[in-house]
Structure 1
Amino acid sequence: MSASTSADAMPHATVVFVGHHKAGKSTAVGHMLVKLGGVDKRTWERVERETSTRPASRYSWIVDRLRLERDRGLTLDIKLHRLALPPTTAASPGSLPLPSSSSPSSSSAGLVLTLVDTPGHPDCLKSTIAGITQADVAVLVVDSRPTVLDSPAFSGQTRDLAHLATALIDKRCLVVAVNLVDVVVEGDPAVAEQRFQDASETIKRLLKRLTPLPPVLVPVSALTGDNLTEPSPRMTWWPGPSLTGAVAAAVEGAPGVARESKEARDAAARPLRIPLIGTFKVGGIGTVPAGRLAGGSIRQGTSAQLLPPPASPSSSSAAAASTAAWDAAGGGGGGDGRLAAAVRSLESFHDARAAAAAGEWVGLAVKGVHASRLRRGCVVSEAGDRPARLAASFTARVQVLRDPTSKRPGKSRCLGLGYCALVHVHTAQAPCLLRSIKTFNKKGEVVSAAATHLREGDIAEVELAPLVPLVVEPYTDYPALGRFAVRAAVRADPDFTAAFSGLNGGGGGGGPMGQSGPLMAPVIVALGRVEAVKYMEPAPEPAPRSPVAEARRAAQPGQGAAPATTATTTTSPAPVAASPHVQAHAKEAEPASTSMSTAEATVVAVAAAVESSSIPLIDITSNGDDEGGHRG
């Protein structure tokens, strides 16, 4: 208990590790945990036995614990690990100089880091974005081998990840770890130094104009541990900090980490918001949703409200059947989908807590909500203090990074009015209908007040209408819930496919499960910030039936007496019934012409499919020989 109490007194920060596939993210995180005491002796001995014939996987298996992940050699979802840095490590001599705006108190008191390992495979980009949105500092892990640095797959994926890290976190909070320097460090240190310099020049060109200052680059070897937590005697040519020292310095400059800073005080004063990263069902405890406090505070006994509501039971599954049974028994929330729950207890990385503040990761033991009703992207708020509300539409300022069809002459623009954008905001993803576009030049002057489409490089103010329940907040009121990215998928050209196959170690399958077929390359289309939100009005509670009407209904063949059974039946209705958002937007935007009705029906069908799918993609396909194909 004393250890957890001392850790609670330290500043908390979340560090996310991102990078292309096979860059060494999991190995770096696992090796840091071993070196800094984040792995207990029993776990380490078990991993050593299991990897006796695969020594190169020793440290990555500390993080990747699923059988499928170990067999395939890749990370499928984000992993969280807590690490307490003592004052001597947090303020090591190798650390970078602190920014003038930061306070040295956190380094003198130690530091608690939550390390987030993210997938590197492009097919898992959805989970990677969810991890990035919850971080204070990003570590971009880069493979220093020339064959990787020169590949189009590396340049395209690394640029997208850097865009996400600088836009969704902070431009000053990016550290680049140049990995695999150990390949030549033993043979000739001069060659290792030259490799690091060459890789640094390539990375600086790639990240040009993304950060106000040149990025912090640190040479490391994730497998051998060189320069991970302390300067390596085999890298005498490197005068800079270790990776841990560089991360500690970046954390010092991250806004909101120091508890006495203005950003931290503002976060504490905001209403409670916890975007859920996952939900667990623990024996003897019950439903445990988990996430990071974006703002506010929570304690035992808090009356919580959870939004958005679960997926429609029309997407038949075991979870939907369980949800229907729970609803029939009287569980659930309000008529507009709100779920009410009482917080019975709090826990943070197996430590019981009485309360938690902004920036901390917690698990909530809630009463009154079935586990099948919660999913990643739900938001926890306090019922009596400015609770979260669903967005009917929102206005945002966006910057278009890429339009896969913009360079194809004679082809229609895909980023036009009516485009169904797949928006990633906090831990949620939702298809949103593009309703209006107003473009600006770099000086902020209006170019077109009623544009019909967006081009690559455009800066615009757009109106987006979610087609599924979604919680967003204006960026000025709640930065963590007001930054978003727009993702799409393009059919990769042969050069990209060949490059990624080589980066992946061979094989023709494009997906993480090795499925055959053309490789679909997920790409980041745009980045944006929410400026204003139009909220949905709470739906009124249904009026109770009169005894006479109930008796007539019960007398009809095949009709039961309980209205909840009819409301939660698992028979498949029309796809539009999957979401009240889809019904509202389809009815509001219903055109007169037959062709437009078909297009609107397609958007509605896509929204219903995305809502019920675990890996949604908005496909923008192109032939491999088109000039607009994705080439990084």
Structure 2
Amino acid sequence: MTNAPKTTALRLVESAAPERDQLKIVIVGHVDHGKSTLVGRLFHETGSLPDGKFEAIKAMCERRGMPFEWAFLMDAFQAERDQGITIDTSQIWFKTEARDYVIIDAPGHKEFLKNMITGAAQAEAALLVIDADEGVREQSRRHGYLLSLLGITQVAVAINKMDLVGYSEERFRAVEAEYRAYLESIGVKPRVIVPVSAREGDLISGPSANMPWYTGPSIVGALDSFEKAAPMVERPLRMFVQDIYKFDQRRIIAGRLSSGRIRVGDEVIFSPSNKTVRVKSIESWSSDPAAPARTVAEAGESVGITLDEQIFVERGDLISHVPDEDRAAPMETDVFRARLFWLGRESLSEGKRLKLKLGTLEAQVTVERIEHVVDTGDLATGAATHVERNAVAEVVIRANRLLALDPYEDNPYSGRFVLVDRYDVVGGGIVSMEGYADQRELVTRRATNITRVEHRITEDMRVARNGHKGAVIWLTGLSGAGKSTLAVALEQALFEKGYQAYVLDGDNIRDGLNANLGFSPEDRAENIRRVGEVASLFASAGMIAITAFISPYRSDRERARKAAPGRFHEVHVKASVEACEARDPKGLYKRARTGEIKEFTGISAPYEAPDAPDLVVDTEAQSIDSCLDTLVAYVANACRS
């Protein structure tokens, strides 16, 4: 996640040689399960403690009249020593024969989960610590779930304090089975589960005489078995604009490459403005003026670039290569699903307005819908109207502008965010675009050298001839709500009254104009975009275009409204999913429930009901005839000449 709190870096060994591998590992677990003690022993066993450190810890414990405690190596703050808990994240560098490590010790106490998430977000792998005597606790499950949420799949588990249970194999197997089953249920397959005694040094770096029944690797062996993540340089280019500087006649766009590489001469696109330019030069700070000009920069570097033409650029814009078969651009959207961890002191409710931070991007967003809250204990999901502190929820977030982002599984740096309420970080999560369309193609204009034809027949002339104004009557609602039935009946009723009216129905349009479109979120959005443009042309011709489309996305309906300014009338044909499924005139709900139809609105794909429609007709509460009378009266009034 972004905007990490300050960490305490405690360097214990010399910097690693450049050619050696380095892996970042987070250590998490329930409070008092022995994380810091385990790390202290780990450093002692691997010879990573600097000269005099052991003696300093021993002397400190003697001054305080307390037993020697390895945990004080990690718990660098006085407040932590007094309370016996880890508050902030601490980073420690150490090495084994195989590689160098940065270990991030994250707090286990429930009150410091924000810091735990901060630490885990920086890691490539995790070591989970569980007390053999206490067993799997609520925090043990929550930490495992959060690691899954952050996309960390390389996990080892240390079942600590085996000395307190007499090094019992039976106890170890019971705790191992319980926690392994939980982790695998959330998609995390632990690499190894090791019985250890951190205080006594059992199975930290080698076998244990106290546990001859265990034949697997030690903690050091488990860590060395982790694989280094694929370098971010191999992913598509992503660089959030941090700032724009002016030097001499140069205008330098500064930022950090989170993934990919950029070269002089590359054609890049700035999202979400969709402006394309070429990279003229790559600038870097504190570079030797006599050195050759840079021609390439890679993931992890902070650089500046200049462009071959001046375009308007803002902080938060996301730079990528112009998309092709091999290089994808980020998605553009004003709405997305998110798996969210809520940290706010007050519970989260639908309609809450917050600030979203993603990279250097900041935008005002609204939590539009809480789909369900996840119980991290038993993974049960349930409907809820609020999300309490330290709970996980799946929500729908809508922004007040178009955002450029990636689904988390495609790129973690441009797919995770934090939420801020006033000045406090109150939540964080990962982006999912499941069920929602990439709007890039919908807002990109490729046609050039276009000159619109001006008609000689004015709108007033058409109104005078037809006796009414042109309009788009946009019927939206779930499948089975009655849209097509009402549309056809409305067309007939208006025709009998002398109106020029025509129905554009979903199935009819897909049988011709949009026969080449499927039912993916992107194809659904393009289907509605085309219909909106056609309906606008009908309305411009003085006719009443009646459309009967599910049109599930609010942004698509708003785009259709903009295509017919002053003529668009949104009508919500309202009926619950239960009522529509009971009707199921085409048998579609039955097929969707069996999985035969994927991405079916209301079942496996979202439907965003209108916020403020021009008219609501409730076919569940009223008869079709009553709804039709309401519609006819509305159209007659709206289209009065």
User: What's the TM-score, normalizing by structure 1?
Assistant: 0.46
Higher radius of gyration, 1 or 2: 2
Higher relative contact order (CA 8 A, sep 6+): 1
